[in-house]
Chain A
Amino acid sequence: MSSTGHEDEFRTLFAMEAEERLDALSSQLLALEEVGSDAELVAAIFREAHTLKGAAAVVGLETFSEVAHAMEDLLEQLRSGERMTTPALIDGVLAAVDGLRAMLPAVLEGDEQAATAAALVHALHELAEAGGEQSGHEADEETSAVDVVAPARHHAHDAESVRVPLTRLDELIRLVGESAAAHLRVGRMIRDRLEIDPMSLDEVRELSRILNELQERAMRARMVPVSTITDVLQRAVREVARTTGKDVCWEARGEDTELDRGVLQQLGDPLLHLVRNAVDHGIESSADRVAAGKPEQSVVRFHAMQLGSEVIITVTDDGRGIDVERVRAEAARLGSDASSLSDEEALYLVFRTGLSTASFVSDISGRGVGLDVVRANVEAVRGRVEIRTEAGAGSEFRVIVPITLAVLPCLLVEAGGQHHAIPMHSIVHADNDTAEGRAEGRPVVFSGSHAVPVSDLAEILGLPSSDEGPIVIVAGLTRQHAFRVRALVGQRDVVVKGLSRLLPRLDVLAGASVEPDGSILLVLDVSGLIDRARMTRPRAVQAAVAGEPGLPQRSTRARVLVVDDALTVRELQRSILERGGYDVQTASDGVEAMAILAVDPVDLVLTDVEMPRMDGFALTEAIRAHATRGNVPVLILTSRASEEDRQRGLEAGADGYIVKSAFNEAALLAAVERLLGPSGAGR
């Protein structure tokens, strides 16, 4: 009794297993290349291929099985010691792994992919026949185009785990979300009908707590570690390095950082592009590096880190950096005037469609996605990209994304008689009494030292506008903009739903959410909103106005200087500290921090460790060595958790040390309070 239904089911299972085994093969092969020889590892690789062969045959995927078989034959030569590991052999097997991965979807649909399979089998046989004679000289030629500095990974398969299709998980998460919404509606009904505050009822509070926990657990189930994509990135680095003849060292850290699977999937292509770009264009040729007095071997670093509800992934190279003048010239050639932009603003022009400087597009990284697509992909998961670059020293791309897409922390504002939600991740500043000035006849507010144009949110949305109200400063990809709203309503996690596919794309909207009272809350898209505001208004103010803006009067509150090169981190800390009752100033690295300290009294410095120009340790030392500011307490906040680093921080003269993984609002405030006393109490 054969049933197609069952066969399908097994094939689905096989699909999941095959993907896992192919991933395992990839990473084990890379590990093997790194160590050269390791009998245990070879045996494990052989086993993967063997099992794959058998599993494919069981579900009737003959062609797939044949390729796996040819792979197994080749690996047998390694296992028996008949031949040695060479880059060519690893390449060949990796190519077959990729081939199988590419075949998989079609094969599962019933298309045998006979031609592809035959080609793969042929290539593997050729390699197998080339056999022993090759093992010697080739290995010398390119022992390691890429060195790998990465912690050993464990692909542990927990015997206690089960496999669940993603759709089933999503359904679960959706239902949890809906029960939370229903719970809010019930709470509202209790208030309206019984005139009791629902939160005064133990039963309601208990249910809230359980639902919150349930939601978090359900969300966790969708999370996967970043390590699931780093192998692919490492291979890309290795391939590009080999093709371009560069000596590149790949360093990956924070690979156990977890992200929503959907978010991570969306990031695969952009990250691949960024690492290829780094090797292809960022890194100079060995000759150029030597001429510039740099070490011949270059480094591409990948670093993932969770911070609050976001994950920050950086791709850094120590290459030549991005030539801002060239970006400007290219923008001019395409007809946009970049002369009035600051260097930092001009840099972001690389994300424009069509903007390709010779230093940005080539066969290798120009293929597939360009930087404009990197940006689009990252924005699609409500993230953003930051760039830092220094001529001759390298570039850093920071991809900042929310951990999950299911709930979005938002600021609720009222404008034009309606509530609107603005995603918190794009908010720079929001308060009721931001001093408004005018520049070039237009209202502006100051964000740091930049003049930011102000628009009325309701007017931009085509609603009845108002002249007065709080100001919300938001950051799009390339610029900030301020919006006047009628009122700040509050902060809340919003379960965002996309709008119907029947609707045309509305750039100012990111989605909508059903409120507890049944009304619909619109979630704004900040980039779209800024674009529209700039179109609606005459050209925005570029020039900063002479003189200081109307700074808020000097208060007696303690002043904290936050030093971090990531905008997100700075603003997150700013909001926490401001809520905690401190005045906050920010600097993006040690050099900037010292400049601020030279003119402004500060009661405490809170600094990151890894920063360009001057890192946190050097900053601490510089402060301690300073004639008049030598006693300012310094608190180091870092992702480094090793005892050695802690020791180094203390030796540099830091007063405290917070590890980012343990970072939360309470911990930060507690550490600051310990050094300064409770907020506002002064020094």
Chain B
Amino acid sequence: MRALLLHIGDDTYAVPMEQAREVVATPVVTTLPTAPETVLGVCNVRGEIIPVFDTGALLGVRRMTDFSAIVVMETALGPAGLAMSDIGASVELGELVADTETPGTRGARSLGDGIAVLIDLESLLAPARIA
């Protein structure tokens, strides 16, 4: 499957290409007072106000105090920006090589010599994970 790689720290994650709308480099994010730490703020993408999430915090791996880009994903509840440490390439993911237990993911897939963990947008952005 086509996927977009998403670097979070040293880890490599992937999101399905068909759900990705665009990548915004060095976005200007306005923080939202009283928002939970999984919410980095909102960002203006061509006149549309898009929420930006701390992908690392949602995955429970690390807080992303510095991020260089966001990928705007389409979800049933509207667009969502996922922060990433580094813009990744668009790749073809291989076989499922291992199941994953981290909430918000659905399995590790082969990618050349390495692996990439596929993000499951629905469960990653579930209200219980965000709040």
Chain A residues near B (Cβ < 8 Å): 178, 181, 418, 460-463, 497, 499-504, 506-509, 512, 514, 518-520, 522, 532
Q: Closest CB of chain B to A171's CB: distance in Å?
A: 15
A-B contact pairs, 24 of them (CB 8 A): A178-B47, A181-B47, A461-B34, A462-B33, A499-B32, A499-B42, A500-B50, A500-B51, A500-B79, A501-B77, A502-B75, A502-B130, A503-B32, A503-B39, A503-B51, A504-B36, A506-B33, A506-B35, A508-B33, A508-B34, A512-B30, A514-B44, A514-B47, A520-B43
Question: Given that A178-B47, A514-B47, A520-B49 are known contacts, is A500 also in contact with B78, CB under 8 Å in the complex?
Answer: yes
Q: How far is the CB of B129 from chain A (nearest CB, A)?
A: 11
Could you tell me if A502 and B80 are in contact, using CB atoms closer than 8 angstroms?
A: yes
Q: Is B112 an interface residue (CB 8 A)?
A: no
- A181 partner residues in chain B, CB cutoff 8 A: 47
B125 at the interface (CB under 8 A from A): yes
How would residues 99 to 123 of chain B score, 1 for a CB under 8 Å from any chain A CB and 0 otherwise?
Answer: 0000000000000000000000000
CB of B100 to closest CB in A, whole Å: 23
**Known contacts A514-B49, A519-B28; A503 and B35 CB within 8 A of each other:** yes
Residues of B within 8 A of A (CB): 28, 30, 32-36, 39, 42-44, 47, 49-51, 53, 75, 77-80, 125, 127, 130-131
CB neighbours (8 Å) of A506 from chain B are 32-35
The CA of A44 and the CA of B34, in the complex, are separated in Å by 58
B51 touches A504 (CB 8 A): no
CB neighbours of B34 from chain A (8 A):
461-462, 506-509, 532
Instruction: Determine if B35 and A504 form an interchain contact, defined as CB atoms under 8 angstroms apart.
Output: yes
Given A499-B42, A500-B80, A504-B35, are A512 and B49 neighbors across the interface (CB < 8 Å)?
yes
By beta carbon, the residue of chain B nearest A497 is B49
Chain A residues, CB < 8 A from B50:
500
Cα–Cα distance between A326 and B36 once the two chains are bound (Å): 40
A504 to B130, CA, bound (A): 7
Give bound CA distance, A165 to B104, whole Å: 40
Return the chain A residue nearest B51 by Cβ. A500
Q: Are A509 and B33 in contact (CB under 8 A)?
A: yes
Known: A503-B130, A522-B32. 5 other contacts (CB 8 A): A500-B78, A501-B77, A502-B125, A503-B35, A507-B34
CB contact under 8 A between A518 and B35, given known A500-B77, A500-B80, A502-B78: no
| Distance of B57 from chain A, by nearest CB (Å) | 14
- The distance in angstroms between the C-alpha atoms of A501 and B49, with both chains bound, is 12
**Distance, CA A178 to CA B36, complexed state (A):** 30
A418–B28 Cα gap in the complex (Å)? 13
Residues of A within 8 A of B75 (CB): 502
Residues of B within 8 A of A504 (CB): 35-36, 39, 127, 130-131
Q: Which 7 A-B pairs have the closest CB atoms?
A: A461-B33, A500-B51, A520-B30, A501-B77, A504-B131, A502-B77, A503-B51
B52 to chain A, nearest CB (A): 10
Bound CA–CA A276/B53 (angstroms):
46
Instruction: Tell me the complex Cα distance, A430–B33, Å.
Output: 22
| Nearest CB in chain B to that of A518: its residue | B44
Tell me the nearest residue of chain B to A457, going by C-beta: B33
Cβ distance A415 to chain B, nearest Cβ, rounded Å: 10
**A512 touching B78 by the CB < 8 A rule?**
no
- For A418, the chain B residues whose CB sits under 8 A away are 30
Give the CA-CA distance A504 to B34 in the complex, in Å: 10
Interface centre among A461, A462, A463, A502 (most CB of B within 10 A): A502
The answer to whether A520 touches B44 (Cβ under 8 A) is yes
Residues of A contacting B33 in the complex (Cβ-Cβ under 8 angstroms)? 460-463, 506, 508-509, 522
Distance A114 CA – B34 CA, assembled complex (angstroms): 52
How far is the CB of B110 from the nearest CB of chain A, in Å?
A: 31
- Residues of chain A within 8 A (CB-CB) of B78 are 500-502
On chain A, the residues within 8 Å of B130 by CB distance are: 502-504
Complex-state Cα separation, A501 to B42, whole angstroms: 12
Write out the residue numbers on chain B whose beta carbons fall within 8 Å of the beta carbon of A500: 42, 49-51, 77-80
- Rounded to whole angstroms, the CA-CA distance of A10 and B2 in the bound complex is 43
Give A462 to B32 CA distance when docked, in angstroms.
10
Complex CA gap A502/B42 in Å reads 12
CB of A522 within 8 A of CB of B35, answer: no
CB closest residue in chain B, given A521: B30
Smallest CB gap from B127: residue in A: A504
Q: Distance in Å from the Cβ of A484 to the closest Cβ of chain B?
A: 16
When C-beta atoms are compared, the residue in chain B nearest to A501 turns out to be B77
- Shortest CB–CB separation between residue A233 and chain B, in angstroms? 36
Contact: B125 with A499, CB < 8 Å? no
A181 to B48, CA, bound (A): 12
Taking the nearest CB of chain B, how far is it from the CB of A188, in angstroms? 14
Rounded to whole angstroms, the CA-CA distance of A502 and B39 in the bound complex is 10
Chain B min CB distance to A333 (Å): 32
Please measure, in the bound complex, the distance between the C-alpha atom of A520 and the C-alpha atom of B44, giving whole angstroms: 7
Q: Among A504, A518, A532, find the residue whose CB has the most chain B CB atoms closer than 10 A.
A: A504
Q: Give the complex CA separation of A507 and B35 in angstroms.
A: 10
CA distance A46 to B127 in the complex (A): 53
B39 CB contacts on chain A under 8 angstroms: 503-504
Which residues on B sit within 8 Å (CB–CB) of A499? 32, 42, 49, 51
What distance in Å separates the Cβ of A422 from its nearest Cβ neighbour in chain B? Answer: 13
Distance of A210 Cα from B26 Cα, bound (Å): 36
Known pairs A501-B77, A507-B34; A512 contacts B47 (CB<8 A):
no
* Contact yes or no, B51 A502, CB < 8 A: yes
Measured in the bound complex, the distance between the Cα atoms of B130 and A502 in whole Å is: 8
- Inside 8 A of A497's CB, which chain B residues have their CB? 49
Which residues of chain B are near A509, meaning CB under 8 Å? 32-34
Distance of A519 Cα from B49 Cα, bound (Å): 10
| Contact of B42 (CB < 8 Å), options: A462, A520, A532 | A520
Most chain A CB inside 10 Å of its own CB: which residue of B35, B36, B130: B35
In the complex, the chain B residue whose C-beta lies closest to that of A416 is: B33
Residue of B nearest to A182 (CB): B47
Contacts of A463 in B (CB 8 A): 33
* Least CB distance, B25 to chain A, in whole angstroms: 15
Q: Tell whether A519 pairs with B35 under 8 Å between CB atoms, given A500-B49, A500-B50.
A: no
Closest residue to A418 on the B side, CB-wise? Answer: B30
Q: With a CB–CB cut-off of 8 A, which chain B residues contact A460?
A: 33
| Distance A181 CA – B53 CA, assembled complex (angstroms) | 26
- CB-defined contacts of A462 to chain B, threshold 8 Å: 33-34
Bound CA span A520–B47, Å: 10
* Complex alpha-carbon distance, A176 and B113, angstroms: 53
Given contacts A502-B80, A504-B36, contact A519 B44 (CB under 8 A): yes
Q: Which residues of A contact B131 (CB under 8 A)?
A: 504
A418 to B32, CA, bound (A): 11
Selected from A178, A507, A522, the residue in CB contact (under 8 A) with B30 is A522
B125 (CB) vs chain A CBs: closest residue: A502
CB distance from B28 to the nearest CB of A (A): 7
Give bound CA distance, A617 to B43, whole Å: 56
**What's the Cα separation between A507 and B77 when bound, in Å?**
20
- CB closest residue in chain B, given A505: B131
**B53 proximity list for chain A (CB < 8 A):** 502
Residues on A with beta carbons closer than 8 Å to the beta carbon of B30 = 418, 512, 519-520, 522
Q: How far is the CB of A513 from chain B (nearest CB, A)?
A: 8
In the complex, A184→B127 CA distance in Å?
A: 36
Residue in B28, B42, B43 whose Cβ sees the most chain A Cβ within 10 Å: B42
Q: Closest residue of chain A to B35, judged by CB?
A: A506
CA–CA, A514 and B49, complex, Å: 7
CB distance from B74 to the nearest CB of A (A): 11
